[in-house]
């Protein structure tokens, strides 16, 4: 291995890696960490969310006819901007069911897979990359898209199985990641802070409608705030590379990054599992890991990965 520290982020669709924790990925890349993005589905059932691409019916029809290829090319562009490595897990996008009652999910899609079977390719990747830190979504998927919820289930199953020699014995040498985080892309506190700063500067806030729903938002514990303000522009560029999925004039881009840096210069995470000791709150996903690795190297040179007790 050429990198001492390794981070794996597991996402549902191409574009999620750029809208959730992207600045954190860039920070760690710049620090020499190996960052691997795992994309669970192909994004083939996504909609065209950029209104500019709908102005010409011929352009829209061409994109829709070649959406799988288009989204792969967008992922290639975003990956290059962020500087990450990326692997496809190989599952088919489930789409977002609409209607009342909701229609059944498409046959064979990611969200209807057996969780243990779907975890096997992710276990294989974990044992190959050997990440100390894994990031994914909480049990609600961050928001209740079936692929996001399935991504949570599969990542949790893989995190717990990767170090067990009795699980998936043909998937490589066992490796136990040390920490599992859930991304906290948005919080009421962050939105309120950015909203108030926009008003204080005499600017129109894009958050009025969101704030009307604040009482219904589930509150997550933020255990870890990673300072990444200097990488917001890179994150934005990667997100805009997913041109079919992002409105460049939409609400996300209406808050200037200098405002974000002034009031909320971090990306936030919830520590869900840890097999090493750490002290909360943290400002580093590798808090405790750096010390653990140094101690392990001092004891055994290259040693065997044997984490001490489990805490969560």
What is the tens place of the pLDDT at every residue in 174-193? 999 999 999 999 899 999 99
> Domain 6-186+220-300 carries which CATH code?
3.40.50.10320
The answer to whether 227 and 264 have CB atoms below 8 angstroms apart is no
Per-residue pLDDT at 108: 97
Please check the confidence at residue 292 and state whether its pLDDT lies above 80: yes
Q: What number is the average pLDDT over the span 67-85?
A: 98
Which has more confidence, 80 or 211?
80
Please check the confidence at residue 294 and state whether its pLDDT lies above 90: no
> Which band of pLDDT confidence, cut at 50, 70 and 90, is reported for residue 302?
low
State the CB neighbour count (10 A cutoff) for residue 176: 19
| CA proximity to 17, closest of 178, 135, 194 | 135
Q: What is the DSSP letter of 184?
A: E
- The span from the CA of 168 to the CA of 146, in Å, is 25
Per-residue pLDDT at 307: 47
Is 11 annotated as belonging to a binding site?
no
Q: What number is the average pLDDT over the span 25-48?
A: 97
User: Burial, 181: exposed, middle or buried (Cβ in 10 Å; 0-12, 13-18, 19+)?
Assistant: buried
State the CB neighbour count (10 A cutoff) for residue 200: 10
| CA proximity to 151, closest of 169, 135, 168 | 135
> Which band of pLDDT confidence, cut at 50, 70 and 90, is reported for residue 298?
confident
- Record the pTM: 0.93
Is 145 annotated as belonging to a binding site?
no
The answer to whether 245 and 49 have CB atoms below 8 angstroms apart is yes
φ and ψ at 135, to 5 degrees?
Answer: -125, 135
Which pair of structure tokens corresponds to residue 299? Answer: 């004891």
Q: What number is the average pLDDT over the span 260-287?
A: 97
Please check the confidence at residue 74 and state whether its pLDDT lies above 60: yes
**Span 91-126, pLDDT tens digits:** 999 999 998 888 999 999 999 999 999 999 999 999
Per-residue pLDDT at 1: 39
Is 16 annotated as belonging to a binding site?
yes
State the CB neighbour count (10 A cutoff) for residue 6: 22
Q: Average pLDDT over the chain, rounded to whole?
A: 93
């Amino acid at each position: 291995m050429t990198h001492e520290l390794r981070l794996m982020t597991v996402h549902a669709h191409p574009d999620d890696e750029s809208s959730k924790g992207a600045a954190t990925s860039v920070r760690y890349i710049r620090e020499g960490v190996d960052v691997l993005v795992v994309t669970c589905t192909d994004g083939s059932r996504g909609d065209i969310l950029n209104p500019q691409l709908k102005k010409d019916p011929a352009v829209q029809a061409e994109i829709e006819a070649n959406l799988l290829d288009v989204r792969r090319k967008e992922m290639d562009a975003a990956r290059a901007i962020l500087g990450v490595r990326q692997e496809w897990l190989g599952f088919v996008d489930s789409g977002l069911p609409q209607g009342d009652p909701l229609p059944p999910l498409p046959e064979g899609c990611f969200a209807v897979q057996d969780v243990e079977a779907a975890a096997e390719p992710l276990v294989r990747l974990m044992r190959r990359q050997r990440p100390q830190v894994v990031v994914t979504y909480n049990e609600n998927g961050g928001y209740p898209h079936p692929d996001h919820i399935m991504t949570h289930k599969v990542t949790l199953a893989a995190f717990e199985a990767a170090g067990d020699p009795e699980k998936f014995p043909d998937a490589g040498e066992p490796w136990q990641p040390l920490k599992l985080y859930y991304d906290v892309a948005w919080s009421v506190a962050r939105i309120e802070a950015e909203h108030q700063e926009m008003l204080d500067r005499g600017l129109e806030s894009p958050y009025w409608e969101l704030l009307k729903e604040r009482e219904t938002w589930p509150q997550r514990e933020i255990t870890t705030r990673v300072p990444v303000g200097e990488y917001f522009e890179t994150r934005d560029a990667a997100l805009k590379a997913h041109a079919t999925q992002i409105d460049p004039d939409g609400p996300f881009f209406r808050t200037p990054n200098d405002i974000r840096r002034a009031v909320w210069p971090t990306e936030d995470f919830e520590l869900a599992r840890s097999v090493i000791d750490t002290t909360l709150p943290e400002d580093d996903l590798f808090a405790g890991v750096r010390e653990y690795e140094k101690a392990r190297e001092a004891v055994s040179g290259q040693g065997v990965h044997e984490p001490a007790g489990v805490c969560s």
